[in-house]
Amino acid sequence: MIGQIVVTVPQAKRLIAQAVLQLPEVQTAMESGRIVLKSGTTVSAVAQLLGVPLLRIGGRIVPDGARAAKRMADAPHIAVWEQGAWRTADATLGEEIAGMGPGDVFITGANAIDSQGVAGLLAGMEGGSSAGKAMNSLYSEGIDTIIAVGLEKLIPGSIIDICQKAGRKRVDKSMGMSVGVIPVFGKIITEKEAVEILAGVRATVIAAGGISGAEGATTMLVEGEEEQVSKIFQLVKALEKAETSGNPESLIACDQSGSTCKSHLACMYKKQ
């Protein structure tokens, strides 16, 4: 049987979160290891499923540029889930990563993915703040890294090439904070992989975008047994009212000339 589905961006985030928890390496970590969650709206959806409070969202892209949160919400930005309990790792991420080993998993989102399977994170603070600086240890130590990211983040070109062109200090004027790009390597799970994992179907992306709330949406063909295709329709329909995950206070973007401006460069909204 062949079905045709449309998955909006909010729906995709929720499907990806469900699928991430079905991955064998994540199942292993849930049984006997630890899961480190680096905040983002998709990763916050993963956190919700694990019983972790809504994560504090840091940088974001909004219509008027790259922005930070208006204020520091009282919520974890980096969380560690271990044996059914969670803890904040905002100030201890380096130590947490240093203590990780086989059987542990690091889950992050991304701001971009390319056709070569490389992801990119935007860095609005020097070095990408504590998370950006600590993540190199993931690769040197061989820690399983899951990148939960929607196909609306697929960009032309190579992330590696883009990293060499971008840079906070190269930008003279920016809508919001200027950003650099940090490459991220790991297993990328988009909505395409998500529906395949959740129902065992074969998914083919045939279109992207739309209007009236389907901006950034993904249209896919899903092939499988009737019950498999029906399951995907049920999963998508159940998410009709899906909303962006994240601590509500942290989802409010910064004001012009706000308190976080001192950490950011080239923002056209700063007081001159």
pLDDT of residue 177: 94
Question: Average model confidence (pLDDT) for the chain?
Answer: 94
Identify the band that residue 5 occupies on the pLDDT scale cut at 50, 70 and 90. very high
Tell me the average pLDDT across 5-17: 98
Mean pLDDT across the stretch 123-133?
A: 79
pLDDT tens per residue across span 51-68: 999 999 999 999 999 999
Residue 258's pLDDT band (boundaries 50, 70, 90)?
Answer: low
Cβ distance 11 to 242 under 8 Å? yes
Give yes or no for residue 16 having a pLDDT over 80: yes
Hey, where are the domains in the chain? 15-189+243-255
Percent of the chain with pLDDT over 90: 86
If you write DSSP's letter for every residue of 198-256 in order, what string do you get? HH--EEEEEEE--STT-TT-EEEEEES-HHHHHHHHHHHHTTTT----S-GGGGSBPPT
Contact 10, 225 (CB under 8 A): no
Residue 134 above 90 pLDDT?
no
249-260: average pLDDT: 82
The SS3 of residue 26 is: helix
**Ramachandran category for residue 155: left, alpha or beta (phi over 0 → left; psi -120 to 50 → alpha):** beta
User: Between 9-20 and 191-199, two packed helices, what is the crossing angle to 10 degrees?
Assistant: 50
Under the banding of pLDDT at 50, 70 and 90, the label for residue 271 is low
What pLDDT is stored for residue 269 in this prediction?
Answer: 87
Closest CA to 41 of 107, 105, 123, 91: 107
Which among 244, 271, 267 has a CA at the least distance from the CA of 179?
A: 267
Residue recorded with tokens 């090439």: 161
Q: Give the pLDDT confidence score for residue 22 in this predicted structure.
A: 98
For 165, residues 6+ apart whose C-beta sits below 8 A from its C-beta are: none
Q: CA angle, corner 149, sides to 144 and 153, nearest 5?
A: 135
Write out the two tokens for 72.
């520091």
Q: How many helices (H) and strands (E) does the chain have?
A: 9, 14
Does 48 score more than 60 pLDDT?
yes
Residues 6 or more apart in contact with residue 98 via CB below 8 angstroms: 137
pTM of model > 0.85: yes
Distance CA 216, CA 207 (A): 10
